[in-house]
Amino acid sequence: MFPGGQNLRILREQLGLTMRDVENASTQIAQKRANDEFVIAPSRLSDVETKGVVPSIYRLYSLAVIYRRDIRELLSWYGVDLNGMAADLDFVFPPKSHVSNALANLSSVQLPTRLDPSFDPKRTANFGRMVEQWGLVPLAYLAQFATCQYTYGYIGSEDLTMYPLLPPGSFVQVDESKNKAVDGGWRSEYERPIYFVETRNGHTCCWCTMTREELILQPHPLSPVAARALRYPQEAEIIGQVVGVAIRLGDWRPLWDSSTNLKVREALN
């Protein structure tokens, strides 16, 4: 049983509020919001505090406001930790690539807070063994490391445009300040800029080449996806350049079913 009700009762008593005080305050919130769902009657609050009844999202909002606490803290008392969303994203694989806002409002992240003194960033090593201590770090503390505005994208389970360089299910970090296609100057496919592009049909990651009026979306040579030439910016727009990639390795699964495989073979023929 989660300690939500017990913690809520402790908060109320610490603030010197009676159940009637909570009802009166929540009634004013409900009147402002024009929604009676925000009201917390004394009998309902008693059930929440003593019988393990889970408050609705509206009443939880009222309690967060009345008790002056972050609603994310109250959710965590009922087993809903928003900072754990990153670990749960692997449970679903949307077929289409898209901009991901799932992690935009996290309050803290799990990061190494102390490394082994022998750690040498120039050498390949088992990073897990180099971490002496992990800890929750408020994201506000990381603001000093921000050099530009990033967008985060997800490569859909059916988007094979940059496969095998960017397999489906990858997460990408996109630098929105680099939204112009660069020509030449790279020595390998790993140095060639990959761009996160928005089209009328959705999002995709690809190499890009600009002509006078068109943006050519170029897939990886081993990908079954064909190149496309779209009018710029009417039909396609570069959101930014991919500057970071998170890929899960060793978790093999079929990238397409038999019907999709048939379509791929037909496209190749």
Q: Do domains 4-77 and 150-268 have the same CATH topology?
A: no
Cα of 201 vs its chain's centroid, Å: 21
The CATH code belonging to domain 4-77 is 1.10.260.40
Average pLDDT, integer, range 153-161: 88
pLDDT classification of 193: cutoffs 50, 70, 90: very high
Report pLDDT for 144. 45
The residue behind tokens 């997800």 is: 154
> Does CATH place domain 150-268 in 3.30.70.2860?
no
Whether residue 223 has pLDDT greater than 80? yes
Average pLDDT taken over every residue of the chain: 82
* Range in 37-46, 56-65, 128-137, 162-171 the model is least confident about: 128-137
The domain locations on the chain are: 4-77, 86-90+102-145, 150-268
Nearest to 26 by CA among 7, 10, 48, 51: 48
Question: How far is Cα 63 from Cα 73, in angstroms, rounded to an integer?
Answer: 11
Question: How far is Cα 210 from Cα 80, in angstroms, rounded to an integer?
Answer: 46
pLDDT digits (tens, 9 = 90+) for 99-129: 877 766 666 655 555 667 775 655 544 445 5
Nearest to 263 by CA among 226, 219, 230: 226
Report pLDDT for 263. 44
- Predicted TM-score (pTM) of the model is 0.58
